[in-house]
Structures are given as structure tokens and as C-alpha cells.
Amino acid sequence: MTQERVGFVGLGLMGQGMARNILKKGWPLSVLAHRSRTAVEALVAEGATEVTSARALAEASDIVVLCVTGSPEVSAVTEGPDGLAAAGKPLVVIDCSTSDPAQTVALASRLAAQGITLIDAPLGRTPKDAEAGTLDVMVGGDSAIVDRIRPLLEAFAGRVVQTGPVGTGHTMKLLNNFLSMGYAALYAEAMALGAKAGLSPQVFDSVIRGGRMDCGFYQTFMKYTLERDRDAHKFAIRNALKDTSYLAAYANAVQFANPVGAAVRNSFAAAVGAGRGDDYVPMLADFIAEANGVSLIEKD
């Protein structure tokens, strides 16, 4: 059986590692520069082929993986001028972005009329897991297509969970990020309040670490707070705001009251409004502390 040809758009923090694993595990790979030329040049040196438009990528591929920011970017790549749909050929598009579920379902319907199958397959875990090929993937779509693309997903994933029809992968991703960003907002506020009372982050950590409130997300969050490791959790605060805003829009669409979600979103909105959107999520703790007149940096 001839190996299916794969195209990739979005070689950012997650995408570069994903694409490298696809290439290493034997898929013919074409890549399209979205923001970073460095990643494209590195992958071309390893055997990938570069194309110059989404249309050309579709023409060179049977399956295209998207790992861009969100729904507007996905729509632009698929339906924009010289986009994937302009190739006029059958194609499977795997959207690994964190997108708005309602927009995903609507886009899938429009693309289906053009012979393109859209699968939502957002990601869990970190860029380090992308490099290691151990991401979590939540997949929404027709079971026959999911079975077809599963070997490809397993090239960069340690766990693939089918969630249901198209759109459910993105819904589950929003719920996953609601939990993780909720933890981040709680950690930030708790440590700032502790600092106000004279409790250092080191004391805070000595109580939480190893107890029932400890978890993997807590550990990467605290690796920045305690060690000032900026790369501990490379997920921008502005993307956290985007995802919690998508959750708010979804809750509104289904007439669901989500006061906790609104509070979490407001923590990130305040940081973005103060010009901290490019900071990574663990740095929210510094912003909350500074806004309350305290510091989380241990003094010599």
C-alpha cells in the first residue's frame, strides 16, 4: 500500500515537533510556512518539501494537518484565496488547533460540499511532548476516517481518544483548557494572597507538592515560579484568553451559565489588557502578585 502524502501548516511550538515525528516515521511530508521560516528550513533539511501556498499543499497531499492559532486562521487556510479548497480535490484536513466548536461544525459542512473531510483533533500536553511524540489527541469525526488517520496521529501522539462526531474534539479541548487555565488562575491568586500574608512560594509549594492538590500541570507551573524557567510551560497568556473566550461563546450558544469560567477568563483578560499577552501562562502569577503590591521572587 502506498503511504499517504501529508501536508502540514503551522510549524510553531507544537507543530514543529509534530511534523518532525511525521517525517521520521515515514510519511512523505510537504510544509507551508505560516510564521516561522526557521522551522521550515530545518524540516526541509531533514527531507520535507516546501510549497508556497495552501492550494499547492493540497495538490501535493492526501491529508493536511493544521496546527494554527484558532478558527479564523483555519478558515483562512482552508477557504481563503489560494486555500486548500481551491485545489478542487478530495482531501482530509486534520485541525489540531484549538478552535470554536460551532465554527468547526459549520466549516466541516461547507468543506464536505467540496469533497473535503474536516476532522478536529486538538492537542493536550506540551511542546516537549510534541518533540517526544507523546501528545494527547482528542478526535472528532466519522469513525472510518478516524481509523484511516489514526496511524498518522500516533506518529506524534501517545494517546488518541475519539470523542464523537466532528466538533466534539474541540469541545473536549475547551473543557480540558478550562480545567488547566482554571488551575493556573487559582495557583496565581493563591500564591499572591499567600505572599500578602508573608508566605513565600517556596512554603506554598512545600505544602502542595506531593499532596492531593499536586499534579503535572502544577509542577510545570511551579517550575517557572520557583526556578524562573521561562520554558517550563510555553503557552501564551493571549492564547489562554482566546481559549477561555471560545468556552464562554460556546456556553452562551447552549444557554449555559458558567460563572467560574467567566472568572478564569477575566484573570487572563486583565493580563492581556496590561500588555502581558506574550508572557507564558505561569507568568500570570507574577502579574497577579504585582497587581496586589507583592512579589513572588525570593529575596537574597
User: One of 24, 128, 173, 223 is an active-site residue; which one?
Assistant: 173
Q: For residue 243, give Cα distances in angstroms to 72, 253, 268.
A: 13, 15, 10
Cα–Cα distance for residue pair 68/84, rounded to 1 Å: 14
Known active-site residue 173: yes
* CA-based end-to-end distance of the chain: 64
Of 277, 300, 269, 276, give the one whose Cα is nearest residue 290: 276
Taking a C-beta distance cutoff of 8 angstroms, is the pair 150, 173 a contact? no
Q: Identify the residue whose cell numbers are 485541525.
A: 95
- Tell me how far apart the 2 most distant CA atoms of the chain are, in Å: 66
Of 94, 85, 20, 22, give the one whose Cα is nearest residue 53: 85
3-state DSSP call for residue 287?
Answer: helix
Of 84, 179, 176, 67, give the one whose Cα is nearest residue 120: 67
Of 80, 60, 59, 56, give the one whose Cα is nearest residue 68: 80
Q: For residue 207, give Cα distances in angstroms to 197, 201, 210, 260, 280.
A: 16, 10, 8, 25, 24
| DSSP states of 24-86 | HTT--EEEE-SS-HHHHHHHHHTT-EEESSHHHHHHT-SEEEE--SSHHHHHHHHHSTT-GGG
For the annotated catalytic residues, the residue numbers are 173
